[in-house]
Structures are given as structure tokens and as C-alpha cells.
Amino acid sequence: MKKVADKTRVSTGEINKRIVRLQDGMQERGVDGALIIQKTDLFYFANTSQQAYLYVPSAGECLLMVFKDFERAKVESPLEEIISLGSVKEIPRLISSYGYVFPKTLGMELDVLPVNLYFIYSKIFKQSKIVDISTEIRLVRAIKSVFEIEKIRRAAYLSDKVASRVSELLEPGKTEIQMAGEVESYARSMGHQGIVRMRLWGCELFYGHLLSGAAAAVPSYLASPTGGEGVSAFVGQGAGYKKITIDEPILVDYVFALEGYLSDHTRIFALGSLPSDLMKAHQAMLEIQNETVKQAKPGVVTGELYEMMVSMAYERGYGDYFMGAGERRIRFTGHGIGLELDEFPFIAKGQKVELKAGMVIAMEPKAVFPGRGVVGIENTHLVTETGLEPLTKISDEITLLPIDG
């Protein structure tokens, strides 16, 4: 198998820094070893998404055990110790045979590990106490390296290109799903990986949401202020068969996923014009965004930012429509982003995490009006030592497109 292209390969130094930071967290918790199996975490610490098991001791070198495909994992991962694995039952023996002290306390990703698999690992590691290591992993992943930031910058640049393309494709009479297919094809041609990974159980996303008028305000199960009718009850979200018409807000909320890394981005379009009250609501969402950008600096508690944004929405008369309508509207206004769409930190009710330089957050103040549509904004921002740097650059204003003829 050929070597992995330079643009997708992570250096040994980069991987080692990530592992050391996790090991520091493990030592603070008294965790002797961690077994990482979740796809995104495995890619983060081993630069492969093959079916494999990464054993991380509290200090020293890691052991990558690969079930399928071994040869591919050897090419993709810069780790030194990579071995073939015939059965998950062999893992304890392999850990001991490679000189590791058998873990009395074993960390696993219990936030995403299915219960049946937990029972299997409990039997395999019957001499170990299994504890949740997911918070430590997610806190490590929340701080992006220079390497990761450059990946996200590139994804953000391509998010802007996708938004720019929308104006060329929008026509009255097209269905949402037709329009979405054209936009997504353009994104794919620029290298969009297709899969948008989310950590939350039962949540999944295909590129994002392209929704028009009242359909954009149709709620769904998704942890998002927008839902959409979708093409069937089985999907239950996203673009549907509604035809795009003039004088209605068209929401384009897309994730660009490039070489693993994500950028989240929302812009509002309209064919013709929009009612003045919707234009005013959009401006209010921009005011909330812009004030949050001023206030969001390292050391600021994310839950306090959330309360500020909610207060601003109520002050402007949009509290009942902010981030959804009704009792089940979501209780966050932004989220971390990286390899997954729902990373730490969350700008959410009750959150105590402080912003730190190197975090990347997607901030998305939106107003949802049942029966009418959605206005608002979303941009991906880098937390720097002095505050937030927006990585998506295209205008935040509503794009009003003239109607031919």
C-alpha cells in the first residue's frame, strides 16, 4: 500500500503531544490505562479509523492493536507499536506481553460505548475497574494545535465558497432537496468528505440543512435550533420536497468536512425581499453575535456567555423565538467544533467550562418563527489570547437576490 499523502498524515510529534496531555489527565484521575475504540478518538490519537484498539498507559508508549485493516493502519498511523489483533479477548494478554503493568483502573469512552460492549469488556478485564475517560479525552481535544487550526481554517474557507455558490443556484420552484443536492455536489467536488461525525447518541447529519420558509421552522429530534421536514419520517430532518418561493427566508446551514476537520456556517438568503420584521430579527441576531465576540475571551465561563446571549434576545423582544420556539427549544447558543460537530466547549445553560486559547467554537444565534421561517447566523471562531477570531469571512447580512423577469 502506498504511503498516505502528506496533507492527511499527522506527525509523530503531533500525536505524541496529544497522548501526553491525555496521560496527564489520566494521572490526575488515578487511571492506569485507557482503551480507546471510538472512531473519532482513535483517529485523533492514532491517525487511523480502522477497526482497532489503542491502549494508552498512564505513562510511556501506546500499543495499537488492529483487527481490520492491519496493513492500512500501519501506513496511516505514526505510532511505533502497531500489531495485528485476532480477537478482542486477546487484548489483556497482549498488554501484559508487551511489558505494560496490567491496569487496576481502566478508562474507556463510556459516553458512547454500547452497554452490551461494556458487558463484554467487563468480562475481558474482570481484574480491572472500568471508569469513564471521555471527559478527559474531550478536554484534550477541545484545545486545537496549530496543525488542527490550519485544517479548520481551510474548511472555513471552503464553507464560504459553498455559501457564495448558493446565490448562483437559487431559483424559485426548485425543491429544497433539489437545491441541497446541487449545493452538496459542489461541496463534494471541493473535497467534502461526506460524513459529518457527531458524538451525541442518535444524532447524525448529512452535510447540513438547506431549508426554506415555514419548513425551516419545523422542529426535529436533532440537537439543533432548526430541523426541517426531511424526505421521510425515517430521516426526520433536513431538506424536503417543499418548493422554494420568493419573499421567504432560505436557511443554508452547512458543515464543511475536510480531511476530518469541520467548519459550521449559516447564512440566510431570499429571492426578492423579506418582511421588515424578519430583517429586523436578523439584525438582532447579528448584534447578539457581535457582542458575544467582544466578551468571549480566555477565562470567560461559557455558561455566562449563554445567559448573556439569552438576555440580549429577551431585551430585543425575541426571547420566545431564540434558538427555537416552545418549551423544547434548545438550551445552547454555540458549540465546540473540530473532528466532531459537538465538541467541548458548549455555550450552554449551566456550563462551567472556561474558554481557553486554541478552542474553536461555532456560535449560532438564531430566531425561529413557526409558520414563517428562520433568520440568524452561524460562524466558526478561533479563541485566541485576545478574544475570538472569525474563521468564516463571507458577509453575515441576508443576501437578497433579484427575481429575473
pLDDT in tens, 160-194: 999 999 999 999 999 999 999 999 999 999 999 99
Q: Give Cα separations from 15 to 7, 10, 152, 332 (angstroms).
A: 15, 7, 18, 31
* Pair 43, 172 in one domain: no
Q: Give Cα separations from 127 to 81, 102, 404 (angstroms).
A: 24, 9, 73
pLDDT digits (tens, 9 = 90+) for 244-254: 999 999 999 99
Nine-digit cell at 376? 440568524
Domain closes at, from 83, 116, 141: 141
Does 312 reside within a domain? yes
- Assess whether the previous peptide bond of 253 is cis (omega < 30° from 0): no
The stretch 109-134 carries a mean pLDDT of: 97
**Residue 405 has what pLDDT?**
55
Taking phi over 0 as left and psi of -120 to 50 as alpha, with beta for the rest, 233 belongs to: alpha
* Pair 174, 29 in one domain: no
pLDDT digits (tens, 9 = 90+) for 285-305: 999 999 999 999 999 999 999
Is the Cα torsion angle 340, 345, 347, 351 positive or negative in sign?
positive
The stretch 1-10 carries a mean pLDDT of: 59
The stretch 103-121 carries a mean pLDDT of: 97
Could you tell me which residue, 113 or 403, shows the higher pLDDT? Answer: 113
Strand, helix or coil at 240? coil
Does 294 reside within a domain? yes
Amino acid at 337: I
| Per-residue pLDDT at 2 exceeds 90 | no
Q: What CATH number should be reported for the domain holding residue 374?
A: 3.90.230.10
Q: What CATH number should be reported for the domain holding residue 59?
A: 3.40.350.10
The stretch 261-279 carries a mean pLDDT of: 98
d(CA 383, CA 293): 10
The stretch 132-156 carries a mean pLDDT of: 98
**Residue 202 has what pLDDT?**
87
Q: Contact 132/110 with Cβ under 8 angstroms?
A: yes
Q: Is 250 exposed, middle or buried (0-12, 13-18, 19+ CB in 10 A)?
A: buried
Q: Contact 49/57 with Cβ under 8 angstroms?
A: no
**Residue 242 has what pLDDT?**
97
Does 110 reside within a domain? yes
* Pair 95, 216 in one domain: no
* Pair 217, 354 in one domain: yes
Which residues are within 8 A (CB) of 316 and not within 5 positions of it... i.e. 6 or more apart?
A: 284, 287, 288
* Pair 104, 181 in one domain: no
Does 103 reside within a domain? yes
Report pTM.
Answer: 0.95
Sheet containing strand 379-384, edge to edge, reads 343-348, 332-336, 360-363, 379-384, 387-390
Which residues are within 8 A (CB) of 181 and not within 5 positions of it... i.e. 6 or more apart?
A: none
Nine-digit cell at 256? 464543511
**Residue 243 has what pLDDT?**
98
Nine-digit cell at 191? 473535497
Beta strands at 195-196 and 129-132: parallel, antiparallel or unpaired: unpaired
Does 287 reside within a domain? yes
- Assess whether the previous peptide bond of 92 is cis (omega < 30° from 0): no
* Pair 157, 264 in one domain: yes
Q: Is 405 exposed, middle or buried (0-12, 13-18, 19+ CB in 10 A)?
A: exposed
Domain closes at, from 141, 163, 194: 141
**Looking at the 3D structure of the chain, how many domains does it have?**
2
* Pair 278, 390 in one domain: yes
**Residue 4 has what pLDDT?**
47
* Pair 166, 314 in one domain: yes
* Pair 101, 150 in one domain: no
Nine-digit cell at 343? 465538541
Element spanning 116, H or E? helix 115-124
Does 73 reside within a domain? yes
* Pair 195, 226 in one domain: yes
Range of the domain at 172: 143-401
The stretch 215-221 carries a mean pLDDT of: 93
| Per-residue pLDDT at 14 exceeds 90 | yes
Q: Contact 102/127 with Cβ under 8 angstroms?
A: yes
The pLDDT-based confidence of 5 (bands split at 50, 70, 90) is very low
Domain closes at, from 98, 116, 141: 141
Nine-digit cell at 298? 480566555
The stretch 380-393 carries a mean pLDDT of: 97
**Residue 9 has what pLDDT?**
78
| Per-residue pLDDT at 310 exceeds 90 | yes
| Per-residue pLDDT at 157 exceeds 80 | yes
Nine-digit cell at 199? 458524538
| Per-residue pLDDT at 8 exceeds 90 | no
Does 226 reside within a domain? yes
Does 1 reside within a domain? no
d(CA 149, CA 126): 41
* Pair 137, 150 in one domain: no
* Pair 12, 103 in one domain: yes
The stretch 112-139 carries a mean pLDDT of: 97
